[in-house]
Structure 1
């Protein structure tokens, strides 16, 4: 642990990036398994509720580091970065392969650039604009190819992950601009503290706590999957991600979506999911767009003659 703390931000951000890729890449298959015994409403609310309990147990004291005027941004971050996306992804996986959803999730860095410009007035480079255009083309192809491949995949469900990723993208900028001076654990615990009441209300509304539901074997198995997703994929991962945003920049922190589809595809193949050639190509185009949007301009090294003139 001491060695990790001693690392500089350049080393630590890559460790966080890989860890988050593995964890979040596995989250899509856990959602899929959870839907075998839970409704999307139950799954989204339970995921938030269990993660909230876990985080309050380990970090309730960290709430004291949040100032009164910062709670409004904590609430905005909570709903955009956690609450609404949890339901959107659950509903999406009713009709779409988990691996395909993970590819649509990889549009976060591209949307981060778009909303950074539209809302936060952050200027974009030509390469970033090119990346956004390529990623948009890939997303359109992926959604349309999925609809053609399987008629049961409702086109509306394919857009739900894009709505969720738009929220993620905006949330990254909110954390970076308004919550930068708050410890990552405090941000995460604060967000889930805000969400505990609405998550409980949704569970009550969705009849989760009924004896018939809780005694069902399929429900109990699904709860096990969502418990893993809540503690590791939501609780711990959110702390790591919030810290990653703080020690890097919005584009790098959302680049975790580079590796997430690789992990998700591996799980999808093991689970027997089928993919069309055009879907794979479309996914590749999206990742190419993400790469273009994140690629830094190379700094030209001065020649010996130029150095001598200096």
Structure 2
């Protein structure tokens, strides 16, 4: 398989996996709190990665660890909790569309902070995407007055974290393989995640007889192993063989999968919201246009 074919294969595979993650989070939240979901997701992923790939840690050099810490915090720890809280207040399909802002932020911060190139067409794409986002949020707030669309800000903040993560992987960790980066990330997150979980009532209320909790943990296991551990490894590999903006473009394929699952679960989108989503995708297309 050529490098070009690999890029598109990984992009499509990630869209399927991450597009299904939103509904898995929504289902998992039936039995755990947002804080517990974020912490357990990290712990499950860490256990999985350290079980199957402990040797990958040997490839991490001293110079890498500073950026391993940064990418762990900005690309996993903080977004993990922000997404969990957002899905408690707005539909998972809307969250997936808002996540499409990641390529915009990747481009903006890549140019401003990391010195990557910036084209006029890409600037137009950013502005178009922001218009679509504004329409999506305002219409969603009017259509679902019982949902708190201020939580959309959490997804925007998370997308900034993802943007920094992608740019750091490309610029500072390009000589380290994808599996080593992800395993290093979750090794560092074990203690913080356990501490966060310990401050909730998870351990005092845990029971194998609690069917709702057991189902939630099942959804979490799938989300952690496939949607986090394996998917993040593929994503870092994609960043290595392409570039941060192309890699973050997975976020404009993700909503197609997430909306499908959301509608099966009874979520609804108005025609204007669908139109706003198309505007966002058009913006992302312009951001990623080479000429």
Match of 1:125 among 119, 124, 136: 119
Query: What is the aligned partner in structure 2 of residue 80 from structure 1?
Result: 74
**TM-superposed deviation, 1:95:** 1.0
Q: Are the equivalent residues in 1 in contact too, given 2:31–2:212 (CA < 8 A)?
A: yes
**TM-superposed deviation, 1:8:** 2.6
Match of 2:231 among 225, 232, 237: 237
Residue 54 (structure 1) aligned with residue 55 (structure 2): no
**TM-superposed deviation, 1:97:** 0.6
Match of 1:257 among 247, 251, 256: 251
Q: Are the equivalent residues in 2 in contact too, given 1:130–1:292 (CA < 8 A)?
A: yes
Residue 102 (structure 1) aligned with residue 96 (structure 2): yes
Match of 1:287 among 254, 264, 281: 281
Query: What is the aligned partner in structure 2 of residue 159 from structure 1?
Result: 153
Query: How far, CA to CA, are the matches of 1:152 and 1:16 in structure 2?
Result: 38
Match of 1:18 among 12, 24, 39: 12
Query: How far, CA to CA, are the matches of 1:274 and 1:213 in structure 2?
Result: 35
Query: How far, CA to CA, are the matches of 1:40 and 1:66 in structure 2?
Result: 32
Number of positions where the alignment pairs a residue of Structure 1 with one of Structure 2: 291
Using the size of structure 1 for normalisation, the TM-score is 0.92
Q: Are the equivalent residues in 2 in contact too, given 1:115–1:169 (CA < 8 A)?
A: yes
Q: Are the equivalent residues in 2 in contact too, given 1:26–1:267 (CA < 8 A)?
A: yes
Residue 217 (structure 1) aligned with residue 197 (structure 2): no
Cα pair distance change 1:166/1:214, threshold 3 Å: farther
Query: What is the aligned partner in structure 2 of residue 207 from structure 1?
Result: 201
Match of 1:145 among 132, 139, 149: 139
SS in 2 for 1:273: coil
Residue 33 (structure 1) aligned with residue 27 (structure 2): yes
Query: How far, CA to CA, are the matches of 1:107 and 1:211 in structure 2?
Result: 38
Q: Are the equivalent residues in 2 in contact too, given 1:139–1:282 (CA < 8 A)?
A: yes
- Greater mean alpha carbon deviation, residues 204-213 or residues 119-128: 204-213
**TM-superposed deviation, 1:255:** 1.0
**TM-superposed deviation, 1:212:** 4.3
Query: How far, CA to CA, are the matches of 1:200 and 1:70 in structure 2?
Result: 24
Q: Are the equivalent residues in 2 in contact too, given 1:208–1:214 (CA < 8 A)?
A: no
SS in 1 for 2:202: coil
**TM-superposed deviation, 1:148:** 1.1
Residue 134 (structure 1) aligned with residue 128 (structure 2): yes
Query: How far, CA to CA, are the matches of 2:187 and 2:226 in structure 1?
Result: 17
Using the size of structure 2 for normalisation, the TM-score is 0.97
Query: How far, CA to CA, are the matches of 2:176 and 2:256 in structure 1?
Result: 32
SS in 2 for 1:122: coil
SS in 1 for 2:89: coil
Query: How far, CA to CA, are the matches of 1:214 and 1:284 in structure 2?
Result: 44
Per-residue CA distance 1:154-181 (angstroms, 9 max, x = gap): 1321111111111001110000011000
Aligned alpha-carbon RMSD (Å): 1.1
